[in-house]
Structure 1
Amino acid sequence: MKQAALGGRNPVLYHQSLSSFSMPEWAAAAGYDGVILDLQHGELGLEAACGILRSLPRENAYAYARVGSLDPAPILRLLDSGARGVVAPTVESRSQTEALVAAVKYPPAGNRSLGPSRPALYPGDSYTEAGNRAVSAIAQIETKAGVDRAEEIVSTPGLDSVYIGPADLAVSYGLPGRGDWEDGPVREAIAHLREVTTAHGVTLGIYSGRPQYAVGLFADGLVDYVGLGIDLVLLNRAFGDTIAALDSARSTGSNS
């Protein structure tokens, strides 16, 4: 993520794990700014993810994909289909970060192969320079080892952003696997990563499950953007709320 602010507002993305072309449209209509297609944990395969990316507007700066590994082959296909950011999970070293940058960036910054399969994907005098400006290399830090090595990771040339995975990070500290920590080592890690990313001109994002928590992070200046919710969780909540409302209405009706 090159530039987090959207007219003074912090971007809000969501995680998509289902193979649905409709989901990004509904999310955009609701006010989300973009999507993180999850090829690491979700049901999404490479073919489906590439199709979804091609269905999104080329100018959507927040069409991201989280990959399962640093294998450059699927990363290349996702980028050629229009991904504007690649999130690499569990980054814990400079060498991993360098591999991410190499896969995401065109020479001389990286080793990405030139294959403009989507027309006018990067408009500009130099297609490769425009592509390197348009596409973000995003290292996901989600372990204590990653936090401890934050300086060597964040200082890697070509890295654009760090994305925090709070649940896995909590587990690495011996805590329950959940997010939205208000205190303790996870919160301290967020503050530390904010300091390091700011020093190197790299943006910082995090996954959050609660809007109130995300607003607090923005207000405290701790992050530049958030991934707010996962499609499966949001659908599960909607199903639960709907049935709970029905049951409540039935109960009220039976007592009237």
Structure 2
Amino acid sequence: MSSTRVPAIMHVATPALSVVEAALAAGYDGVMIDLQHGEIGLDQACTMLRAIPRGNSYAFARAAGLEPGAIGRLLDSGARGIIAPTIETAQQAEQLVAATKYPPLGRRSLGPSRPALYDGPDYCVAGNAMVATIVQIETAAGVEAAAQILAVDGVDAVYVGPADLAVSYGLTGRADWAEGPVADGILRVAAAAREAGVRFGLYCSDPAFAAAEIRRAELDFVGIGIDLMFVGRQARATVAALAAALEEKS
């Protein structure tokens, strides 16, 4: 990864180790294995995490909720970051910290299924430093409470989901808003992140828009692209190209 480039993360909703390997081989810095949407179950996600090199800091998993047992299994299988969706209160952020951090900061239980996940003389201290606790803000309520959420001790990063954020403002659920309440909300969360000293990430669908947001909102990492959408887009383009070629020959 170039030191001048913001890390790029691909959302993976297909339960396949090969998709994870393909994304990393294509140049993505990491992936977000998505247990909230798509078809990936907990057992599958734990297996998919093993397709990611142990030293990759962007081996993220988005949990379906705040259930500590499921989060613990993902971490024990090698997830280096847990994203929790729809965080709207400091109390929810505290629940996430409790599930992702070892004592005394949290209540994560010791018991990794992958050996020697964290290097250091104090395993709990090393684990807490190496695992990113990431709150996902994706509603108007979350934006309003961003300062309180990001002030919770143990929160390492915030990730904004623009489509759900748009819906919460009564708009069409899509990514890539250059203006309006979604764009304003993103900047409010970015300012709260800088104030709290936590990393800031945003999902984008268009590379040019992502580049503009990296500069405008000073992103620390960017989510860009979803495996199923890539397949659908390329499939439509291929079928259309075939139809056009047949049309030319007729």
User: Structure 2 length normalisation: TM-score?
Assistant: 0.97
In 2, distance between residues paired with 1:126 and 1:67?
A: 27
1:190 and 1:222 in contact (8 A); partners too: no
Contact 1:70/1:100, CA 8 A, preserved across alignment: yes
- Alpha-carbon distance in structure 2 between the residues aligned to 1:89 and 1:6: 29
Out of 238, 249, 252, the position equivalent to 2:248 is 252
Please state if 1:180 is matched with 2:176: yes
Is 2:49 aligned against 1:49? no
Letter in 1 for 2:199: T
Alignment of 1:22 with 2:18, yes or no, is yes
Contact 1:106 1:113 in 2 (8 A): yes
Q: For 1:1-256, list aligned pairs within 5 A.
A: 7-254=3-250
CA deviation string 1:20-44 (max 9, x = no partner): 1100111112111111111011100
Q: CA deviation at 1:253?
A: 2.5
Shift of 1:189: 0.6
Give the counterpart letter for 2:189 in structure 1: L
CA contact (8 A) 2:17 2:51 kept: yes
Deviation at 1:221, TM superposition (A): 4.0
Contact 2:156 2:199 in 1 (8 A): yes
Q: Which amino acid aligns with 1:149?
A: A
* Local SS of the residue matching 1:28: helix
Please give the secondary structure, in 2, of the residue aligned with 1:113: coil
Inter-partner Cα distance in structure 1 for 2:21 and 2:249: 37
Aligned length: 250
Q: Write out the 4+ residue segments of structure 1 that deviate beyond 3 Å after TM superposition.
A: none
Give the distance between the partners of 1:55 and 1:181, measured in 2 at CA.
33
Residues 180 and 210, structure 1, Cα contact 8 Å, conserved in 2: yes
AA aligned opposite 1:46: L
- Amino acid in structure 2 at the alignment position of 1:98: E
Using the TM superposition, give the Cα deviation of residue 194 of structure 1 relative to its aligned residue in structure 2, in angstroms. 1.0
Q: Distance in 1 between matches of 2:57 and 2:217?
A: 22
Q: Does 215-224 or 34-43 show the bigger shift? A: 215-224
The CA distance in 1 between the partners of 2:23 and 2:114, in whole Å, is 24
In 2, the alpha carbon distance for the partners of 1:79 and 1:86 equals 8
1-structure distance, mates of 2:2, 2:192: 23
**Contact 1:191 1:222 (C-alpha < 8 Å) held by counterparts:** no
* Shift, 1:9, TM fit: 1.2
Residue 186 of structure 2 contacts residue 217 of structure 2 at CA under 8 Å; is this kept in 1? no
Deviations 1:110-154 (A, max 9, x none): 100011321121111111111111100000000000000011101
What's the offset of the Cα at 1:169? 0.4
Could you tell me how far apart the structure 2 residues matched to 1:126 and 1:88 are? Answer: 26
Opposite residue 22 of structure 1, the aligned amino acid is S
After superposing the two structures, state which structure 1 stretch, 91-100 or 117-126, moved more. 117-126
Q: CA deviation at 1:245?
A: 1.5
**Is residue 53–residue 83 contact of structure 1 (8 Å, CA) maintained in 2?**
yes
